[in-house]
Amino acid sequence: MPQRDGPALLVAALRGGSAEKAIRAAVDRLRMETAVAVPPAPLELLGSFRGVTRIEVATMASAGRLVPVPGGGYVVQVNGTDSIGRQRFSAAHEICHTFFDEARRAASEHEDRITGAFDMERREEYLCDVGAAHLLLHPTWLRDLATREQPSLERLFEIATICEASAEATARQLAALGVWACSFVFWEPGYRKGERLQLAHAPLPGLEALAPLPVPKLRATRVYAAEGSPFFPLRKSVAEGTSIAAALRNEGLTHAIERFDVGQKPLVVDCQSQYVGYVNGNGEPVPRVLTVMRWRTEG
């Protein structure tokens, strides 16, 4: 059955302590109780110690759902259209909700449309993302797995596979841990803010030649950087001639030295890029590229 001290610890933290530290401590206590020492994290076992009777795949629009069961306990449901790594993150996220849910003694089900966003504006959702990452990708595991190799996409994917986690969650945790001197950048086709406004006020049919519509460019949508890495801005675009754009175009793997003008000093970057398209919550395919950047400054 669920442990009783975890929720009190989190509630106290939310009232003025270190909430991130509290959720990680609660997860560590759960790992100790279940004697989980090596990846991948056995979510069914861990969930059972939090009162989760089963984890099931469901047809749903949301990423995950925590459903209280009459008489006590919970069922965790995850989206059947998501990847296995995303389903596991959602399940771990919902397990972390039990700490808060137990404290509130909620009577209704808890549903999350999005998990893994680490949204600081939604405090509990953010903390459950922190807890899920800590549960699936514990720092002791990552440190041991990452220090064996130099930073590369191959090793990132290997670690994600060992931990049965998504590549994005693994990249974020590796960057936070700072074992590798690199940054991970996710790219998707998109527009600048001004271009989005232009699209919202598109010319009438037949008048497009007077005001041509902007063309989407491959832009940085997520940047996970180890401490001390050069700043790389969100929404930064790359040209069609780069290896990063080639990875999108060919839906494959590329490796090249690229130069970015992001400040007073140009950044010369050893870039390894891989196409990692996915399906969004609306069932639509989204083209995406993941790049591991090993930095050098140009004099």
Domain definitions of the chain by residue range: 5-139, 181-297
Q: What is the pLDDT of residue 203?
A: 61
Q: What is the pLDDT of residue 207?
A: 55
What contacts 181, CB < 8 A, 6 or more positions away? Answer: 151, 226, 228, 229, 294, 295
* CATH (residue range 181-297): 3.30.450
Query: What global pTM score does this model have?
Result: 0.83
CA–CA gap between residue 213 and residue 233 (Å, rounded): 24
pLDDT string in tens for the chain (299-residue length) = 344 444 555 555 455 557 888 899 889 999 999 999 999 999 999 999 999 999 999 998 889 999 999 988 999 999 998 899 999 999 999 999 998 876 565 334 456 666 665 544 467 888 899 999 999 999 999 999 999 899 999 999 999 999 999 999 999 999 999 999 999 999 999 987 776 676 666 665 665 555 667 788 999 999 999 988 999 999 999 999 999 999 999 999 999 999 998 877 788 999 999 999 988 777 789 999 999 999 865 54
Q: What is the pLDDT of residue 4?
A: 42
Q: Are 171 and 143 in contact (CB under 8 A)?
A: no
Q: What is the pLDDT of residue 3?
A: 41
Q: What is the pLDDT of residue 161?
A: 97
C-alpha dist (Å) from residue 253 to 146, 220, 273, 292:
21, 17, 6, 11
Q: What is the pLDDT of residue 148?
A: 87
Of 3, 166, 172, 10, nearest to 90 by C-alpha is 166
- CATH number of 5-139, picked from 1.10.10.2910, 3.40.630.30, 1.20.120.420, 3.40.920.10: 1.10.10.2910
Q: Is 39 exposed, middle or buried, given 0-12, 13-18 or 19+ CB atoms closer than 10 A?
A: buried
pLDDT per residue as tens digits for the range 73-106:
999 999 998 899 999 999 999 999 998 876 565 3
